[in-house]
Amino acid sequence: QAFVNNRGRSRDELSNSFGAKTFAVRFQTSKQCGVRISQVNFCVPLLNFTVTIMLKDAKSNLPWVEKYRPATLDDLISHEEIISTINKFINENQLPHLLFYGPPGTGKTSTILACARQLYKPQTFNQMVLELNASDDRGINIVRGQILNFASTRTIFSGGYKLIILDEADAMTNDAQNALRRIIEKYTDNVRFCIICNYLSKIIPALQSRCTRFRFAPLNAEQILPRLEHVVEAEAIKVSEDGKKALMTLAGGDMRKVLNVLQSTWMAYKDVTEDNVYTCVGHPLKSDIANIVKWLLNTESFKEIFENIQELKTNKGLALEDILTEIHLYVHRMELPPRVMSLLLIKMAAIEERLAAGCVEKPQMAALIAAFQIARDQVIVEG
């Protein structure tokens, strides 16, 4: 978008005012917009005025998960032993077929992409690397088609082996995995495979035995915090200490979730605090859980407890599963007789199992209230 100073005046008026013969174009910038600065002068026999052009940097629109994805193996924040082993494979030119498994957001995809950037030059990257998400094309046709074609062809000017990355491979059918088994054996001289999955049990044993397996464990707070603070500083946003703790608690070791919730909370509130983080994702606040436990332990009327919890759930859009998770943590901090604690936890576990199976929330909420009333009566009897 261009803005011309002194617009609306005639050419003669401008020529008389400036009497110059240089046409200057300045590219003005703002650091927040991510625009680069440069200046170009054009010599034309007209007049002197300034055109301001705002150039939007495409990277500024990226989700923070992609914007701050590690570019090299040295940028990765965790799993030092795995990174060290892969570096040795690369340095000795002995990279085997790889199988990365573990919970989401633990760096599996980032690790192999950083590895690929270290192996190949930018100009040959697209020729040497094939990245597929097996959740989209998970049948045998993708193995016989795109994967086989890529694995069986050689590049003329680029030496070395190619790399095929199969993300979310646990979604592949057994037929596709069995077909892939033979391709891995036949074209080992020409290609290496990296199979990425969340659940190792969904990968057939024949594929597992052909790969070197690495388990990516959930990240702990000490590993997440430095990367979180790096993003906070780079984006110049305000995050409180309890906000950081809330982000790491909600994420459960998932770095991708940390950045997604951070960006969502900042865009919604411009101030990342514990309450704002929980509210943004529809998670119960600590004060909500304290009120619910108070009702469960101190209110005699079953109907009143049910109505209070239901009203809170409806007003704040809370899920019973999230409430149950927080109550479980709250109960562990309570001083209850061992028999009562055991009884309560067993009943809560059964409720959580039924919720995971897709049962309706209202009967399970009634069961939760009943479990606490039974536990409360048991405390009175034992007391």
What does the pLDDT profile of the chain (383 residues) look like in tens digits?
333 344 454 444 444 444 444 344 444 443 344 444 344 444 444 444 444 334 444 456 789 998 998 888 888 888 899 999 999 999 888 899 999 999 999 999 999 999 999 988 888 888 899 888 866 666 777 788 888 888 888 877 666 889 999 999 988 888 888 888 888 988 888 899 999 999 999 999 999 999 999 999 999 999 999 999 999 999 999 999 999 999 999 998 999 999 999 999 999 998 999 999 999 999 999 999 999 999 998 988 999 999 999 999 999 999 999 999 999 999 888 888 888 899 999 999 999 999 999 999 999 999 999 999 998 888 777 66
pLDDT of residue 32: 40
User: In this structure, is the dihedral angle defined by the CA atoms of residues 139, 140, 141 and 144, taken in order, positive or negative?
Assistant: positive
pLDDT of residue 44: 42
Answer for the pair 356, 319: CB distance below 8 angstroms, yes or no: no
Question: What does residue 152 show for φ and ψ, rounded to 5 degrees?
Answer: -90, -10
* CATH for the stretch 64-215: 3.40.50.300
* CATH for the stretch 221-280: 1.10.8.60
Q: How far apart are CA 316 and CA 285, in angstroms?
A: 10
**Amino acid of residue 278:** Y
pLDDT of residue 36: 41
Q: How far apart are CA 383 and CA 380, in angstroms?
A: 5
pLDDT of residue 141: 77
102: buried, middle or exposed (CB in 10 Å: 19+, 13-18, 0-12)? Answer: buried
pLDDT of residue 54: 41
- The DSSP symbol for 70 reads -
Q: How far apart are CA 48 and CA 212, in angstroms?
A: 67
Please tell me the pTM assigned to this model: 0.75
pLDDT of residue 381: 72
